[in-house]
A and B are shown apart, each in its own frame.
Chain A
Amino acid sequence: MALARRRPLPPASSPSTAPRARKDASASGRPPSPPPLWLALRLPVFALQVFGPTTAPFAVIVGEGAQRTVVAANAAATALGVRAGHGISAALALAPTLALAPRAPQREAASLARLAAWSQQFTPLVSLEPPDALLLELRGSLKLFGGLAALIARLQVALTPLGYSAVLAVAPTPRAALWFARAGVDQRLDDASALPGALGALPLAAIGLDPKLVAALAGIGVHQVRDALRLPRGDLGRRYGSRLRAELDRALGRLPEPRTAFVAPLRFCGALELVYEYSDSGSLAAAAAHLTAELCGSLATRGHGVRRLLLTLEHRVGIEAVAPTIVLLGLLAPTRDPRHLDRLLYENLARTPLAGPVRALRLEALEVEPLAAAPLALFDARQAAGAAVAADPAPLIDALRARLGPERVHGLSCIADHRPEYSWREIGIRVNFVTAEVCPPAALAKLTLIPISARPTWLLAEPQPLATLRGRPRWRGASLELMQGPERIESGWWDGADIARDYYQAQAADGARLWVFRTRQKPAAWFLHGLFA
């Protein structure tokens, strides 16, 4: 993604500091930098969704012993009446089959970091807002993506496969965007002057303030941001602490709010702990799809494609501990197409015997390579060629190798050797001039210099001994008629696999044409070595 990634991070300049900045800029003769625009991406049920896809009733809990309470419940549990805030006994009474998991802050932090790396494909400046939100500075990306509406539409489409539900809010200051997102308002505000009015309608209880402070303010009849703004600034600070005043000032842009830019780790490593144990490849592939979507997003950020992937499937731990199952995926050409990766993973999982039910998945990118965005053809390439044109065959070969195994899909090459067994070999398929093994063109050129008579199209893997009758070879109960030959091949003394044979083309009684030879060692024996198919 060719974003202006080298652009220095814009300070979260506020309208009060902006005029000064503008004056400085005009003094130095440079155009003023545009004011930033922040998007808050908040995941309201992040604590639940970090556990991956769930179908049966499932809830995330906090607390210890009898004090455990539900913080989030999935759709199946909600349908049975389980709500956030329910005590554990109430929740289990409503849904006896409810699966419970304690809230996992470490996993939430890791998932949020992966989501931040993924979201850097839309803007270079992403800032974490733990535990469940990200702030994205969008001003520099608007032109590339064709405006705010188009950018948000793209973001929403790309978010879908990740399995998170998100609230997106846009405002000129990061604090305001965050407040809108926390309040669940789909705000798209690009005008700093309209900010006080739009913020005013937000309830103080919904913007993530300290509950004690909210209760104290409610006690004097202050319920909305608008009410708090109406209070005298000095009194507000003295009575409720400078923190509230500073928050309000930051939201309105009267105080700058510097944000720390997120720096993505160089190597992608995503983990997903499953709520239930899976042992069928379809469910595992569906779970892994969430990780591949994040992987592809972070690859797009760096303009990379993955060549080798490691998927580790972890089984039971403890007494019945089983070593994890490892799926290693090698690709012919680097890619960051999540659909292609999902398909390959699915085929690989279907082929891999599992040592037991799977509890957790870990996806690591072992090898990444620069992968430029594909240039679009001016004309449709298929149309131009008039027929199926030689497109990049890597996806097909990768798919075949994923299902059948890499060793069962190969190309062929000639070797400049007179011995029939050694004059060919299996090679990797050449793609985009990258290949594991290549027969050098020089060797091919040399081969054409070796004058050979007709060779059979099928070669038997092992020469097959033929019965003889009065010195003549027999095949399927009848004598062979030798049509052409002998062609003497005597070679290979230097590597211990030397042969000394006289080759003949022979015709069987049923009409088949065979390639047979007689060994020159005594006693002579006849062998079938090929078929003129």
Chain B
Amino acid sequence: MSTQELDAVLADPRVWRGRRTTAAGASRGLPSKMLALDVALPEGGFPDAALTEVHCAIAGIGELSLLLPLLAARASLGLIALIAPPHIPYAPALAAAGLDLAQLLVVRATSARECCWAMEQSLRSGRCGAVVAWLDQQRVSFAALRRLQLAAETSACFGVVFRGWGERSGASPAALKLALAVSARPQGRGPGTTGLRITVLKCRGRAGRFVVDVSSRPQGRDEASHDLAAARIRTPSGATKRRSR
């Protein structure tokens, strides 16, 4: 096998190399614009061409806002499909977040089967920049999630599923698995300062679970350096260490 052929094989999204360095992986990840999270994730952001699973403790803690900057960026690549959203996705707020509404596709599916089918179709169509589905009200089997993960891999699409809080400890085929909760110590009092605690339950390229605290507001570039300094990453042992690039 020549080097070129090997490169072609390794470039395939279905091939995952365990000991990928952060620098090489950074080009693969999709930055969330939350610098603390991007620094902590080995690929430099959400994994492209894969499924991300999000477990949210309670609704209304900024779980969708966490994705909005990324979705806004992905809208230039195709449709942004929102499948079975629990409430009305409020167009003025999405537009204010920079999302091109002309690229938005809302699918109101009810049963788990319909949701999974619609998500798989959207992932496989090659017409979507990102597919987000809310499966927190339904019971979804491991096999169904595995199908979605395969669909995301083979058609190189970014997919997110929101699942119930109670299912966060189960096995999952997703490339990244996050649990979102309110930070125990809010980073200040006043509007918009609610802390969001992201527990990374599983991610490719890094073993063990770890916790990232971010503000639930996505930062602009001017605030990024400050945020980087404040980013604290705790390892399971409880030792706190500061990270910088």
Contacts and interface: CB of A to CB of B under 8 A. Distances in A.
A399 to B, nearest CB: 6
Nearest to B96: A455
Contacts of A497: none
A188 interface: no
Given A410-B106, A533-B60, A457 B94 contact: yes
A393 B78 contact: yes
B199 to A, nearest CB: 15
Interface in B95-131: 95-97, 101-109, 114, 117-118, 121-122, 125-129
Given A393-B127, A408-B108, A413 B88 contact: no
A387 B30 CA distance: 13
Nearest to A512: B60
Interface in B43-64: 58-64
A457 B85 CA distance: 11
B59 A393 contact: no
A408 B107 contact: yes
Nearest to A386: B77
A396 B108 contact: no
Interface stretch (A33-41, A316-324, A458-466): A458-466
B92 A447 contact: yes
A455 B127 contact: no
Counting chain B CB atoms within 10 Å of each CB, the highest count among A396, A505, A511, A532 belongs to: A511
Contact of A400 (B94, B96, B121, B194): B121
A88 B103 CA distance: 64
Interface centre among A404, A413, A530, A532 (most CB of B within 10 A): A532
A332 B101 CA distance: 18
Given A414-B95, A458-B88, A513 B101 contact: no
Interface in B118-148: 118, 121-122, 125-129
Given A389-B78, A411-B104, A411-B105, A396 B60 contact: no
Contacts of A404: 107-109, 114, 118
Q: Which of A395, A410, A426, A456 has the most CB of B within 10 A?
A: A456
Contact of B89 (A382, A395, A458): A458
Contacts of A512: 58-61, 182
B121 A396 contact: yes
A412 B100 CA distance: 10
B79 A396 contact: yes
Contacts of B190: 483
B219 interface: no
Contact of A511 (B78, B91, B194): B194
A390 B76 CA distance: 7
B90 A409 contact: no
A411 B101 contact: yes
Contacts of B216: 513, 532
Given A412-B104, A513-B194, A460 B62 contact: no
A288 B96 CA distance: 47
A461 B156 contact: no
A429 interface: yes
A468 to B, nearest CB: 20
Contacts of B192: 454, 483
A501 to B, nearest CB: 16
Contacts of B129: 388, 390
Contact of A412 (B61, B64, B106, B121): B106
A456 B61 CA distance: 11
A196 to B, nearest CB: 58
A177 B101 CA distance: 60
A117 B36 CA distance: 65
A436 to B, nearest CB: 14
B224 interface: no
B182 A409 contact: no
A388 B60 contact: no
B22 interface: no
Interface in A243-299: none
A409 B107 contact: yes
Nearest to A481: B189
B37 to A, nearest CB: 17
Nearest to B196: A511
Given A390-B77, A396-B79, A412 B89 contact: yes
A395 B125 contact: yes
Contact of B156 (A387, A413, A452, A505): A387
B109 A408 contact: yes
Contact of B77 (A389, A454, A459, A461): A389
Contacts of B63: 533
Interface of A: 382, 385, 387-393, 395-397, 399-400, 403-404, 408-414, 420, 423-426, 429-430, 447, 452, 454-461, 483-484, 505, 507-508, 510-514, 530-533
8 contacts: A385-B77, A388-B156, A389-B77, A390-B129, A457-B90, A459-B90, A510-B182, A531-B60
Q: Which 8 A-B pairs have the closest CB atoms?
A: A511-B182, A512-B60, A424-B91, A531-B60, A458-B87, A396-B125, A455-B93, A459-B90
